[in-house]
Amino acid sequence: MRQGHTNLRVNDKVEVITGKDKGRVGKVLRIDRGRERIVVERINMIKKHQKATAAQSGQIVEKEASIHISNVMLVCPECAETVKIGKKLLEDGTKVRVCKKCQATIATASK
Span 66-110, pLDDT tens digits: 999 999 999 999 999 999 999 999 999 999 999 999 999 998 655
Domains of the chain: residue spans and CATH: 13-106 (2.30.30.30)
Q: Is pLDDT of 2 > 60?
A: yes
Pairing mode, strands 67-68 and 37-40: antiparallel
Q: Which candidate, 53, 38, 43, places its Cα nearest to that of 4?
A: 38
In the chain, the amino acid numbered 13 is K
